[in-house]
């Protein structure tokens, strides 16, 4: 089960973006990394490949390792570790370890 999913709100806990929050834009499960909207921007030099693409420097989000982020619980608004449980209907859901509420 993935700890962090697309559209989750997360807090970055290490690195240059430490202390910042953002929404997960993309999850790269094989690399154990997430792309967070507007965070960890890196400058990329882009060549002009056609008439329509612009040459120059563009800023792009670089993926951050999941161990460097913490999920922010929607119920208690706190960064938390993620647990899981099986609901009575058999569906496995993520659980906030701080307040015990289901996250999904």
CB of 55 or CB of 99, closer to Zn ion: 99
Neighbours of 40 (CB within 10 A): 19
- Give the C-alpha separation, 89 to 73, whole Å: 23
- Give the C-alpha separation, 24 to 63, whole Å: 10
Cα angle, residue 63 at apex, residues 60 and 66 outer, rounded to 5°: 155
Q: Minimum distance between the CB of residue 73 and Zn ion, rounded to whole angstroms?
A: 3
Give the total of residues touching Zn ion (CB under 5 A): 6
CB of 75 or CB of 91, closer to Zn ion: 75
Q: Which of residues 22-81 bind Zn ion (CB under 5 A)?
A: 73, 75-76
| Residues near Zn ion, by CB under 5 A | 73, 75-76, 96, 98-99
């Amino acid at each position: 089960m993935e700890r962090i999913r697309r559209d989750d709100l997360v807090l970055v806990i290490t690195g240059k973006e430490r202390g910042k929050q953002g929404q997960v834009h993309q999850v790269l499960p094989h690399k154990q990394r997430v792309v967070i909207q507007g965070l960890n921007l890196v400058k990329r030099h882009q060549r002009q490949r056609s008439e329509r693409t612009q040459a120059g420097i563009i800023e792009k989000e670089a993926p951050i390792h999941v161990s460097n982020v913490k999920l922010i619980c929607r119920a208690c608004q706190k960064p938390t570790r993620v647990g899981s449980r099986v609901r009575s209907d058999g569906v496995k859901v993520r659980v906030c370890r701080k307040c015990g509420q289901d996250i999904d």
